[in-house]
Structure 1
Amino acid sequence: MGTSEERDVDRRRFDVADAAPVLLDAQGVVTSWTRDAQRLLGYAPADAVGRGVGELLIPEDAPRVPELVERCRRDGGWAGLLTARREDGVPVRMMVRITSALETRGPSRWLVLMSELADAPGWDMSRPMLEQMVARSPVGIAIVDTNLRYVWSNAALAQFGGGPPSHRLGLRLADIQPGLDSESIEAQMLHVLATGESVVDFEHVGHVRAAPFRETAHMMSFTRLDDGHGHPMGVYYTVVDISDRHRARQRLALLDRAGERIGRTLDITRTAQELADVAVPELADFVTVDLLESVLRGAEPESGPPRDTDRVRLRRVGHRSLDRSVPEAVVGIGDVASYLAGSPPIRSLATGTSWCEARLDPLAEEWAAEARDGRRSIFLELGLHSAMIVPIRARGVTLGITTLFRRRRHEPFDEGDLSLAEDLVSRAAVCVDNARRYTRERNAALVLQRSLLPHRLPQQQAVEVTACYRPADELTGLGGDWYDLIPLSGARVALVVGEVAGHGIHAAAAMGRLRTAVRTLAALDLPPEEVLAHLDDLVARGAPEEGVVPDAGGTESSQCGPQGDEADSSQAVGSGCLYVVYDPVDGRCTVAAAGHPPPALIGPDGKVTFVEVPQGAPLGVGGPPFESVEVRPAEGSTFVLYTDGLLASGDEVWAVDVSRDRLRGALERPAPSLDERCRAVVDALVPARPHDDVALIMARTRLLDADQVASWELPTDPAVVADARKTACRQLSEWGLDELAFTTELVVSELVTNAIRHATGPIRLRLIRAGTLACEVFDGGATAPHLRHPRTTDEGGRGLLLVSQLTQRWGTRFVPDGKVIWAEQSLTGFPD
């Protein structure tokens, strides 16, 4: 229990005896006004009753009334602060409580209890209390006048440099901290003075006298102070030290860049150089990367410590300095770096542990690298004062060492720097080892990938098609890019292009699985978006079964190539695929994409555009449902499907608009034939030895002639079946296909009869002569027929069985307003 004074204070805050009660109806209109309310706000009952409660509040609080009424209805009441307006216009800050005034009869009402905030001792903020708050605050606080000269600051501000508060009075920031970037800070102050807009969370990075060799970061906020007339008097600002957070953010950003830049190829020397490039200048001023000779040959490195010799020879494969001339390098790239046995580099190589020296002996030379010709240098001559050595280890084997120095920056390496260096080197080590192991896998990947890609594209009449595939160079290795053309029912075709992340045999195997799955799904005659949805489901369900373990970011870590015998399991997740279906009868084209660039379209006039496709998530990643878009290109237009390797040029990363402009320029160049144009585009945009596979397929659209398609609307009358057979036979006679009349009569009879018996809506019979003879029957039903194997005693059920036996293939495809049952017969040996 508290004291009597505390209980009295609590009672005064919301005591019914001290509060002014008011009754409101359900809509917030005053229905009863008391003397206490009149005393508090000055309104007579006649002036208050009948008015909405919002009219009694200041304009800033009046719009809150509907929200408060709704909250009261939902929660049964509300309590908080509001500012009312007295009859004479003076604002009154009040603590308000609203509770339900339930009655057995009549409408719902609300009881409002109002207490003037000035009467509540708990809310009194005296000047001494405020002075204690700012003076004892651990946050640096200061006030400058309109000339940006200090008029007050607290003691905590001294920790950020500039001395105690008494030394700041009358001076500007540049006067007390000349080494600080005061211009950017004062620019924020001037902006606040000019506009009155507060600046919150302004981050300033620099150095202070308290730590001249360490970069610091501060979070600052600025607010203008005005006098009673609204004229600016100065600026009030606060400072918080966020140096630790800033350094942690820098280290995370460096690791992110390392993940993007290290291991983009399977070139050992390039990977080593990428490690050096990433570490300078964010972490070190000079970095060297040395590897064992056996690693460069692709052989297994020797286990155990180096042999007991006077000197151990390594190969310099990468270095980087703040100066482009690399003045610290005694050993050049590709040369032998010789170290004394027992020196820190060799001890680190032998034990697999890192070594850090905050302050080097400037005259030491017993472990400095020596070139093949005997050239050497000492740390004093090189200007190096702090060093770290991190072994390059992957899968329990040491491949080499990375040495990091500081030369210009006076801040020595610490434990945090060593931990960061180990993370960087460990990423590069896996990539280096992958490159070493890659050679033995390349031949197998070549055989596998060549067997999985189409040897020739099938013959059909929907499009004139050509394709070009250019594998990655020998150091990068083959990838998982593929293309395909799949004939569909009704003379339609599906154009497919896709890409599996990564390289090598695992990517090729994953590509083969995806291509097989796409062809299987295409045979079901599903719309493009449904094909991708099923493919996405297959990839997502297959990944956990095969042991794919996502990294912390939720994606598979495969950027450095295969990670083990099950590495190919991770390749399919995140793959891209573009699926296009073209119908040569009406010229419609449906496109859907899963994490893949949209296709380009070359018009008959040579103009190049890009089809805007709703972009779905990559396969297996998860996301919203896939969508498709339908276009009707003019006859003779050319669809261009490609993988993203076509948009890259060496190491350069282009913006989307720039990449499209480059591709558009290559596609607009005329060529004698479609095949020559395809090869010319690849030659123009892709180097002879690209770093990523490139797949390009170009398809020039055709429309079937009117005499290749025959269609009839049929009534839902069983007697029409005989007429349909006769009509189909006459059409076959016109096409010179009388030899197919018997089978066609059976197909037409069975399909039309089924439609009349089991379906609803209109029925349409269509014959298409394009490479095959397709017989299609459309109806408005939503159920597909199933092939049965009837018993000997069954009287029916053999129709579809006979159709399946006598035709080349048959099936069902669903359309928006029903379904189409189709059957195809070969035209081999017949005139086309």
Structure 2
Amino acid sequence: MAAQSRTHSASSPEGGGSGGPGSPGSPGSPGSAPGAGDESLLAALLDGMDAALCAFDAKGVVTHWNREAERMLGWTPQEAVGRRGLAGWALRAADAEDVEGRLLGAMEAPGRQVHECALVTKDGGRVLVRIQSSGVTGADGRARGVYCAFSEAHTQIDLERSIALSEALLEDAAWGVVLVDADLRPAVANASAARAFQALSSTAMLGRPLGELLEQGVEDLEGALQHVLAQGAPPAPAEIWVRLRGAEPAEGAEPAGGAEGAPGPLAAGGGDGGEQSRQRCWRCGFLRLASPLAEEPVPLGVAWLFQDVTEAKLAERDAARLRFRDTQSNRAARAAAECEDPMEAATVHLDFALAGFADHALLDVLADPDPGRGPARAPRLVRAALTPTGARGRDPGIEPGTASGLPVAYPERHPALQAYQCCGSVRTSAGTPAAAPAPAPVPESWARVRKWPQGTVHGLCTVLRSRGATLGVVTFLRDAGRRPFDRADAAYAESVAAHVASSVDLARPAEAP
């Protein structure tokens, strides 16, 4: 039959003994001769192998030679099967004794033997191959022959290098490595990824939807993975902000809402890191995985490599914010220098300070400065300026201006009064324990009882000091779309308040009777 003629030969053209599959010396037939169906199956299996394969009987005669061996060396099965050994055609005579000795020695050696040698192609070239040989025994336990699988050495080395790289990435890499399947579920993860996800082990996160691991950023991450599956790897890494589900704030971070009105320059509710400390910025790289065995690329999933760059990103943000605020301060100083009215100059400083910092700014000055006023007496603060003017949602009240001398009806323990009394800064946010009479204030009532614009949820009050005297309080307010004020914001507000206080101090002699 045709299949049999490609891989077997019943006699050797060199008289080296029978090598047919049905002969006693053939390693393919240790007992009785196989049937025609077995012969066809064996021929199909041998020709379908990715590795080149040849077999020898106990006398060293070639009994099998598959299609991959023909492709690699050029010798056809008709030319190879039946020859005794490889000398003179697939091996140089100088190498034949050593190589054939090692090949046939596998019949007596336990297990599988691996070595490299140079084989000769039909056109006279040489190919360095890696051979794996294993002995074949018959039913009686006697050696019947040896099977040899070989492939080009550089191909084998490339395969081993790829396997070694994969194992190193999944064990020792400092980057987190996660293999995500086509259903966007982690299939394999290394130890670094498990630590980043705060998982007990790398196997604890496998097979779970990303939504069970991440509270924020999961939509962006899944969108990136779907894009990679459809379009391939992006040209550059992406930086994605995420928040782990159930993650606790970093050690030393303040809670998102502290006690309202805590005194001191760095005090009050609002916190510095509660929400932000739970967010992480991951620099992510993606690679689409496709099966090398399929005729057309079939996506197996995505290799996702990521590294935590939160500290660097926060440092970049802080540096950019500081540069912008310094620029605004310089512009405000130049613009205020052109103002004839000192109170107009104070408002200019507030206008420039609002950009990227707050939604509203209030300027309250002391109505009746009295050096002998005791600390027990509440100050009478008059609304001198409100910016931006005509802000949306501003509750009706007395229009800004100091001429009337009517004080703002602040309730007891209002943050502005506390800032005046402690001669520092006070931060507060809606949802913190309130000093207002309402037992459970909602944001609308929270802002209304404090005489702040509707929609305000975060406040920062800073005292105005000039020439050793307290002149009033400046208040910065943020709406619900912004984060609470932090320590850096308090420091910036105090620097703005210093410029405003100088302008207010210049205006006071003009207002004196």
TM normalised by structure 1 equals 0.29
Tell me: higher relative CO, structure 1 or 2? Use CA pairs within 8 A at least 6 residues apart: 2
